A = this chain, B = another copy of it.
Amino acid sequence: MKKRVSIHDMARHLKVSSATVSLVLNGKGEKNHIRKELIESILNHAREVDYRPNLVAKSLRTGKSRIIGMLVEGISNPFFSSIASFVEHEAYQAGYKLFYSSTENDPDKARDLLRAFSERQVDAYIIAPTAGIEEDVRRLIENHQPVVVFDRELKAVSSASVMIDNYKGSFDATRHLLDQRFRNIALVTLESSQQQMEDRTRGYVDALGELKLEPSVFKIPYGAEEDHVDLINRFLLQHPELDAVYFATNYLALAGLESIRLLGLQIPNDLGVIAFDDNAFFNLTSPSITSIAQPVKEISSAIMQLLREQLSGELNREIPTRIILPTQLIVRDSSAQKKKKRSVATQ
């Protein structure tokens, strides 16, 4: 194994001091009035021996790592993986590497990963928080670490954050179903106290409330993804009066569509469908699926913008910035206007 060459090895070889080499390699040669030719020869030699700085040593010395740590719920969730992908791209341009990891909604794992990031001296944190890590995030902020929270509000922690307007998105979606003459609309959501899920539920309830309709909320326990289809099957069978279903998040929609297929129900005639979170495939199913799209790209840019402000230290205000982005209703065939017949029958 060729031993890694260090700055000292090169200094020795060139008969200069390691300080000189360090300065030159960091582009501070000019500024420190080092001879042009010396600069040249140091640069050349470094190239020759394929010098690779040891960034661990550098980090230890400078306290910086040029790494951003990102915590998401699950990287296999397309919403998070596409955000990660956009943010990574922008971070890369700004000279940062992005390291992401999944919490699987487990506060212990989340805490553990946060700790791992902190122990590795990441320069900033992007967090889709899971309930129960309020204290840990608060501590980061108190210690003046750059932090941006997204997707879910962390109640009782005041941080820079990028959210979408879950309430309005949900209200509009429900409203759209009502406009299309659906009247018995169920919401299938997660049994979880996540703020964004509560906002979506409120939006749904309020939209129904305007027409004095009763909500019908089905809460699915978090985890146990393999049971989702069964649970939804059972729910739909127990509620033949329903004429539309609104799925509050992407994987519930997936399970729900599977369930509807298994039960042999026709969309939208037997059951209208709308889903929170758009998906490339919603355009390809028959019928295509109406959805509430989150502005993934805008969310990513907003995250990086808030992060850059903090990293550059420009930001000194005590009130952290909060960016709230609108969702977009994408109307497709699964919410096509109900035929009169059944609509009347079920009233």
Binding site for B on A (CB under 8 A): 1-2, 52-57, 59-60, 65, 67, 74-76, 78, 81-82, 84-85, 88, 92, 97-102, 109, 113, 115-116, 118-121, 142-144, 254, 257-258, 261, 279-281, 283-286
Contact = CB atoms under 8 A, between A and B. Distances in A.
Given A54-B121, A102-B85, A285 B286 contact: yes
Nearest to A88: B102
27 contacts: A1-B142, A1-B143, A1-B144, A2-B142, A2-B143, A52-B115, A55-B120, A56-B56, A56-B59, A67-B120, A75-B75, A75-B81, A75-B84, A75-B88, A76-B78, A76-B82, A76-B84, A76-B85, A78-B78, A99-B99, A99-B100, A100-B100, A254-B280, A258-B283, A261-B283, A261-B284, A284-B285
Contacts of A118: 52
Contacts of A84: 75-76
A109 B281 CA distance: 30
Contacts of A257: 284
A210 B57 CA distance: 60
Contact of A281 (B59, B115, B281): B281
A242 to B, nearest CB: 19
A26 to B, nearest CB: 14
Nearest to A144: B1
Nearest to A84: B75
- With most chain B CB atoms within 10 A of its CB, the pick from A54, A118, A120 is A120
B121 A56 contact: yes
A65 B56 contact: yes
* Ranked 7 nearest A-B pairs via Cβ: A281-B281, A286-B286, A55-B119, A76-B85, A99-B99, A81-B81, A76-B81
Contacts of A121: 54-56
Contacts of A286: 285-286
Contacts of A113: 97
Contacts of A280: 254
A109 B55 CA distance: 18
A296 to B, nearest CB: 10
Contact of A60 (B60, B109, B283): B60
Contacts of A76: 78, 81-82, 84-85
A2 B85 CA distance: 34
Nearest to A253: B284
- With most chain B CB atoms within 10 A of its CB, the pick from A52, A60, A81, A88 is A81
A269 B119 CA distance: 59
A55 B82 CA distance: 30
Given A75-B84, A254-B281, A101 B98 contact: yes
Contacts of A109: 92
Nearest to A104: B89
A188 B113 CA distance: 41
